[in-house]
Every structure is written in structure tokens, then in C-alpha cells.
Amino acid sequence: MKTAHDVTLKGFVRAALTDVRGPHKGRVRMGQWHKNAITATGLEIYAVGCIGAVGASKQIASMQVASQTAAPTTSQTSASGEFTGTDGSRKTTTNTFSANGTLQCTASWATNEANQSAVAAVALYNATTTGSAASIATFTASQKTTDQTLAVTYQWRLSTA
């Protein structure tokens, strides 16, 4: 008897703004989970390449916020409007398993970071300064202020059907 399994890879992202000063100190505004686009590079180089230990494969190691509002596509290699410099440089991710088949990547930005524009997108990369995006997610734009910190949770969920 032959058994077949379909494997799916889906990505989701959620951001939280926390007020650290002022009259709303301690308030956390947690966003909903938003689906993302796993890029062609993400599927080939990050997912399949790592599973097969293919030379030049990459592992997710950093996260970037951006101002992109258009829906991401699989052909993108970066999020448009990436924050740059001290204000929005890529952050090293903390990667863990959050459930069977789920990679969870987290990163955070301090009060003096990621304030240059409204945050509307997040992307995963293998390096803090170069490389092609593994996946990109967009959501309703939110202007982060110097009274807030930003924490982002990004998941890749692999499942069999």
C-alpha cells in the first residue's frame, strides 16, 4: 500500500507595541496573526536547501521591519521601504520550536528604534546586512513612537495532510 503526504509551509506574523512611558505605561497592543508570502528564495534556499543540506543553503537569522503596504509576492527578494541605519537595522532573531513542525522567530526593537516611518511589513533574512528575504508579511501600518517598544513573532508552520 502506497501512502502519500502533502507537506505545506505557511508563514504567519504578529507584532506587539508596548507603551513604556506616559499615561498608558504597560499597555500592550497585540496584533492579529497575518499570513505572509514565502518567497521563491525562501522555499528553495531556506526550506528545501536546509532539509537536504544543499551547499549555499541558508538559515533564518535576522528580521527587518519596513513600510511596504502592498501585498508581498513570492518573487520579492526584500521588503520595500526597509528601515535602515540605527533606527531600523535588522535584528538577530531568537529561533525556537513553538509546536511540532513550527519554527518561531522573535525579535524586538527598543524605544529609539524603528520610528522612521509607519511599520507595515516584516521580513526574515539569513544575515543582518545582506541576503534575500526568506518571507515577507504585511499588515495594517502602525506608527511606533519613542514611548513604545516593538516585539515581533514570526512563524513558519510545516504540516502534512
Mean of the pLDDT values across residues 10-38? 88
Mean pLDDT of the chain: 87
Query: Quick one: pLDDT at residue 99?
Result: 81
pLDDT tens for residues 63-90? 999 999 999 999 999 999 998 877 678 9
Query: Does the residue 124 lie in any domain?
Result: yes
pLDDT tens for residues 93-152? 999 998 888 999 999 999 989 888 889 999 999 988 888 999 999 998 988 888 999 999
Query: Does the residue 55 lie in any domain?
Result: yes
Burial group, residue 116, by CB count within 10 angstroms (0-12, 13-18, 19+): middle
Query: Quick one: pLDDT at residue 65?
Result: 93
Cα(110)–Cα(146) distance, rounded to whole angstroms?
A: 8
Query: Does the residue 2 lie in any domain?
Result: no
- Domains identified in the chain, total number: 1
- Per the structure, the complete domain to which residue 49 belongs is given by 12-160
Tell me the CA distances in angstroms from 105 to 14, 60, 89, 99, 154, one per residue in order.
11, 8, 16, 12, 5
What is the reported pTM? 0.87
Cα(68)–Cα(122) distance, rounded to whole angstroms?
A: 9
Size of the chain, expressed as the number of residues it contains: 161
Mean of the pLDDT values across residues 2-13? 77
pLDDT tens for residues 37-51? 888 888 888 888 777
- pLDDT above 70 for 57: yes
Query: Does the residue 107 lie in any domain?
Result: yes
